Structure 1
Amino acid sequence: MLREHDLQVYQVLLLKPGTLPKTSSGKVQRLACREAFLAGNLPLVASELLDISFPEAHPKNYSVESIQSWICQWLATKLYISIQSVDGNESFESYGLDSLTAATFIQDLETWSGYLLNISTLQSLGANANLAEYLAQELAHDRSQISAQIPPEYYQIECFPEYAQLQQRLTQIQTLEIPNPYFQVQESLTRDCTQIQGRTLINYSTYNYLGLSGEPRVSAAAKAAIDCYGTSVCASRLASGERLLHQELEQELAEFIGVEDCIVYVSGHATNVTTIGHLFNSQDLILYDALSHNSILQGCALSGAKTVPFPHNDWQALDKILQDQRQHYRRVVIVIEGVYSMDGDIPDLPRFIELKQRHKTLLMVDEAHSIGVLGQYGRGIGEFFDVGRNQVDLWMGTLSKAFASCGGYIAGSKALINYLKYTAPGFVYSVGSSPANTAAALASLRLLKSEPERVKTLQKRSQQFLQLAQAQGWNTATSQNSPIIPIVVGNSLACIQLSHHLFQAGINVQPMIYPAVANDAARLRFFISCLHTEAQINQAIAALANAKSIGC
């Protein structure tokens, strides 16, 4: 109870029965009780003074008044008197406190302010007001000394070591005498092709898996939503930002995935952060795949829960961790992804479901890169393995990839979604998804359901690229059954050079280097779209072959 309401107990009083001031209806008169306590008029049987931690330990500013107030509070607590009866003009010794009590005072003062007072100084200062003035001067001097010793990397952003490391990496890129490959301005729709610096290139750096971003029917739906609702809903949905489009999207996503309900957030990254951070706390355990996305890691950090990574896709190792740890925690959640964005591989979902059921945990699956991609109709990894969708507690996904929009969602039981809609900070305290983004996602979802051939084409093109790249001897990591195909180069600078060579050959593909991946695992990530033609894939493979032949 005390911890829940953030209360500090200073003293426990044992009173005679029936002596608390009450109203005629029997309610305790709290104000009268307070006044009687401060005046020392409560009929005590016994009392116990607890170890006290005074408020605002080590405050930034120690004025004479604040120090005087602290001294009076300390004396009132020790002497069982009201704070009003403590006289600042009286000395510490005039209250009859012995040397042991003086030592306790010095210890409590150090805990509160960080300043160690000499006992002889305490005895020589006389009035408590003099003590307060002395301490104010000493503490001000200490603060100025500490401030002078603080190095600039603690308060100047340009001196942060992390910033220096970034600058060092950017300088290394400059030594290659090639343009910085990051933040390239895209001058057109990013579909199977894009335009950069006036050149048209085959584009392998977009999540537009189903080609629905830029699809005329999706764009028309977004424009119509703006005409109807404007460019923003201008409030959180809990307040006044709810629109019919939001409800339609959530209902159709839930139906598409095969669960009871769904909640849509304005950001895919924030979906993981706020959901994980909100549902779990210090009493819980989060077990996550070692290659989990940053948003999962940030959610774990926010939660305050115990977090343990398990080796990538290794359900046997996870089983051992659960055998050792499950009984020590309240809630335990296993977090995996449908398709891992760095390697393009998928987990053995039925194995993780079996562990969840046997060890009585929750299971969360991040489908950012698997929804719209895996399964005969693009319904995700649940369809791919043909498992009951209610066997997973939290289905997470993004709207910025297969659904050609922006945002994220959690799908699951009605109880889960209802709880999140009323309590999740990233939903309750955030504006609702914009009309255009909501309408674009809804239109994309409907097109996916009516045109499942997009999924079939995507899967066919992905397999074509993977097989041709492997036939050339490229390291494609563990990619399988997904449109994400890495070409692992190893060295970061070599990876950037290969990306530049392909750019010159009309292929746009981004390098992924440290710290996004390990120092020896730099790679190009090819994202395949259903819009890519066989000829475009052959052209990319030929450009890779040429790069290998010249040692790039």
Structure 2
Amino acid sequence: MITIPYLTALSTYLSYTLLFAFGQLRDLFRKIIDWGKSNNLQGYAPICLDSEDFYTRRLYLRIQDCFGRPISSAPDAWFDVVERFSNDRNKTLIRMDKVKHCLNLGSYNYLGFAAADEYCTPRSIESLKKFSASTCSPRVDGGTTVLHSELEECVAKFVGKPDALVFGMGYATNSAIIPVLIGKGGLIISDSLNHSSIVNGARGSGATISIFQHNIPSDLERVLREQIAEGQARTHRPWKKIIVVVEGIYSMEGELCNLPEIVAICKKYKAYVYLDEAHSIGAVGKTGRGVCELLGVDTADVDIMMGTFTKSFGSCGGYIAGSKELIQYLKYACPAHLYGTSISPPAAQQIISAIQVLLGEDGSSRGAQKLARIRENSNFFRSELKKMGFEVLGDNDSPVMPIMLYNPSKIPAFSRECLRKNVAVVVVGFPATPLLLARARICISASHSREDLVKALEVISEVGDLVGIKYFPAEPKKVHQEDGMLKLD
């Protein structure tokens, strides 16, 4: 639970009120000025009504230079950000020929595989020559290569499940799979902060949806008991099926799922567990096998394990892992498998090679070193941010660490000042987060050196003082003796 300082909440509400009020006034004056002018719609209704795109026009466009920044290099620890300028108050952004070499604190490149790798890259290039860039076909037609079969075996073995099925898009893995697993007469109980792909998949299923408070097992049990007691709406018949959907690491909070307690509750009430490990697979756990390994949960107790390859593995697509019966059913029933183009062969080879590195099958210890480095980097960076006085969300070992900004004016200020000092960050506000809870989301990578992290901390500290987002008193620096002189830590 985030406790917002009273004055911060008040100033945030006031800022949004002023933005809304002045935006509405400007729209009113524009309507008066344009009164009687032809709208040239020729009888068609407008696709976007003023009330529907008000937020985009009056708030987002003013700060859109903070979003969608194009890059011109691999998303490694450092990358090149293409500079842009606007001649019309940010309504349109024009790319320049110049680039800015920035420290990358925004990409999901948790293990550093997104850049050229001595083991993965040559094998992906070789697969490109052999299989081409695309199969140009769904899996069931002509889109299954030996790489796809090898990848599914590799994923199933890695996550500890009997079988797996891979897809070409991570978002579609959730949004297309959930409607196949459950429908009318079923019940989905979803964490209140689950990803939009889960939300869209649940809505498209036709099942009844109930929400429990974020990461609170006791509230999940309360919802389960009430729903089982009441049954289906109107008829009060028993639910055909109940699925509880949670994430391993919540991408906007950086929090680890309370998986052991949630699994115990689901077993008690005979509910299925659907675990989304998009941000946790490969990034946490002694061997990178995700939150089940980190928290000591038997994978046999998790019925459906979902994950993506777009983060730790430096590729694209997603997977579902489960029983052989489940995977066989999905192969016959899932539209993403039946109609979606299969994952690119070079992308499949990249994932296989990355998993081999993690397991040490490349003949080196680089995988273990990467896992140790991301854990050390994440815990060091989070600890130092808190010492500086920032309000940082998330748990230890999580590579995702949101820094709370709150006030809408601090969103562009923080982003632009960091970029000016050659540090690229991702800022997030409404509607991706609740109105009051704007934040900067920092993502740490194993490719970051300690020098990179120290530089980032220096810049964030300077910008934090300038913008005014250090909501807690900084910890006093410790004095130590070095070479006969007193120095501050």
Q: Distance in 2 between matches of 1:512 and 1:154?
A: 35
SS at match of 1:228: helix
Q: CA–CA distance in 2 between the matches of 1:322 and 1:537? A: 44
Q: Which amino acid aligns with 1:353?
A: V
Does 2:321 correspond to 1:411?
A: yes
In structure 2, the partner of 1:324 is 226
Q: Deviations over 1:196-226 (max 9, x none)?
A: 1322111001001000112333222222112
Q: 2:465 and 2:75 mapped to 1: Cα distance? A: 30
The answer to whether the aligner puts 1:184 opposite 2:100 as a matched pair is no
**Does structure 1 residue 337 correspond to structure 2 residue 250?**
no
Deviation at 1:160, TM superposition (A): 5.7
**What is residue 387 of structure 2 aligned with on the other side?**
471
Closer, same or farther: CA 154–255 of 1 in aligned 2, 3 Å:
farther
Report the AA paired with residue 351 of structure 1: E
Q: What corresponds to 1:510 in structure 2?
A: 426
What does the per-residue CA deviation read over 1:270-313, in whole Å, with 9 as the maximum and x for residues that have no partner? Answer: 00011101111110000010000000000001101100111000
> For 2:467 and 2:135, how far apart are their aligned partners in 1?
54
Contact 1:152/1:159 (<8 A) preserved: no
Change in 2 beyond 3 A, CA 1:550/1:409:
same
Deviation at 1:152, TM superposition (A): 10
SS at match of 1:353: helix
State the partner residue of 1:278: 180
Cα displacement (A) at 1:445: 1.3
* Structure 2 partner of 1:118: none
Alpha-carbon displacement from aligned partner over 1:436-494 (angstroms, at most 9, x marks no partner) = 11111111111122122211100000000000000011011234320001100101221
- Match for residue 259 of structure 1 among 153, 158, 161: 161
- Residue 501 in structure 1 maps to residue 386 in structure 2: no
Tell me which residue corresponds to 1:349. Answer: 259
Normalising to structure 2: TM-score of the pair? 0.79
Instruction: State the distance in 2 between where 1:171 and 1:201 align.
Output: 24
- Determine the structure 2 residue equivalent to 1:200: 101
Within 5 Å, give how 1:133-532 maps onto structure 2.
155-159=45-49, 161-173=51-63, 180-197=65-82, 198-216=99-117, 217-326=119-228, 328=231, 329-450=239-360, 451-532=367-448
1:39-87 CA-to-partner distances (Å, cap 9, x unmatched) read xxxxxxxxxxxxxxxxxxxxxxxxxxxxxxxxxxxxxxxxxxxxxxxxx
Structure 1 vs Structure 2 CA RMSD? 1.7
Q: Distance in 2 between matches of 1:171 and 1:379?
A: 41
Structure 2: distance between partners of 1:403 and 1:515 = 29
Contact 1:238 1:422 survives alignment (8 Å) = no
Q: Contact between 1:495 and 1:511, CA under 8 Å: does it hold in 2?
A: yes
Offset from partner CA, 1:74-120 (integer Å, 9 cap, x none): xxxxxxxxxxxxxxxxxxxxxxxxxxxxxxxxxxxxxxxxxxxxxxx
SS of the counterpart of 1:396?
Answer: strand
How far is the alpha carbon of 1:154 from its aligned partner? 8.4
In structure 2, what is the Cα distance between the partners aligned to 1:511 and 1:244? 41
Name structure 2 gaps, 5 residues minimum.
1-40, 83-98, 232-238, 361-366, 469-489
Which amino acid in the other structure matches residue 256 of structure 1?
Answer: F
Letter in 2 for 1:187: S
Q: Which amino acid aligns with 2:327?
A: I
* 1:364 counterpart SS class: strand
CA distance in 2, matches of 1:153, 1:414: 55
**Structure 1 pair 165–549 and aligned structure 2 pair: CA distance change class (3 A):** closer
Indicate which of 454, 466, 469 corresponds to 1:550: 466
Instruction: Confirm or deny: 8 A CA contact 1:479 1:486 kept in the other structure.
Output: no
Looking at structure 2, the residues matched to 365 and 284 of structure 1 have their Cα atoms a distance apart, in angstroms, of 18
Q: What is the one-letter code of the residue matched to 2:214?
A: H
Once the two structures are superposed, residues 292-351 of structure 1 have per-residue CA deviations (whole angstroms, 9 ceiling, x without a partner) of 000000000110110011100011011011111125211000000000001101111111
C-alpha distance in 2, partners of 1:262/1:397? 11
Structure with larger RCO (C-alpha < 8 A, sep 6+): 2
Displacement of 1:181 after TM fit?
A: 1.2
Q: 1:356 to 1:494 in 2, by over 3 A?
A: same
DSSP 3-state at the match of 2:359:
helix
Identity of aligned residues (%): 30
1:541 maps to which of 425, 432, 457: 457
Residue 393 of structure 2 aligns to a residue whose secondary structure is: coil
3-state SS in 2 of match to 1:471: helix
2:268 counterpart SS class? helix
CA distance, structure 1, for counterparts of residue 59 and residue 200 of structure 2: 24
The secondary structure found in structure 2 opposite 1:240 is coil
Deviations 1:407-441 (A, max 9, x none): 00000110111110111011111111111111111
User: 1:16 maps to what in 2?
Assistant: none
Quick one: which amino acid aligns to residue 423 of structure 2? I
Q: CA deviation at 1:153?
A: 12
In the alignment, the residues of structure 2 paired with residue 549 and residue 493 of structure 1 have an alpha-carbon distance, to the nearest angstrom, of 15
Amino acid at match of 2:153: Q
Higher mean C-alpha deviation, range 416-425 or range 492-501: 492-501
Q: Could you say which structure has the larger radius of gyration?
A: 1
**Quick one: structure 1 residues 171 and 433, their matched pair in 2 at CA, closer, same or farther if it must change by over 3 Å?**
closer
CA contact (8 A) 2:81 2:101 kept: yes
Distance 1:434 1:478, change over 3 A: closer
Please, what TM-score do these two structures have when normalized by structure 1? Answer: 0.70
* Equivalent residue number for residue 63 of structure 1: none
Give yes or no for contact 2:212–2:220 (8 Å, CA) kept in 1: yes
Question: How has the CA–CA distance of structure 1 residues 512 and 152 changed in structure 2, closer, same or farther, with 3 Å as cutoff?
Answer: farther
Instruction: Looking at secondary structure, tell me which structure has more helix per residue.
Output: 1
Does the CA-based 8 Å contact 1:345-1:481 persist in structure 2? Answer: no
One-letter identity of the residue aligned with 1:242: T
1:242, distance to aligned residue in structure 2 (A):
1.0
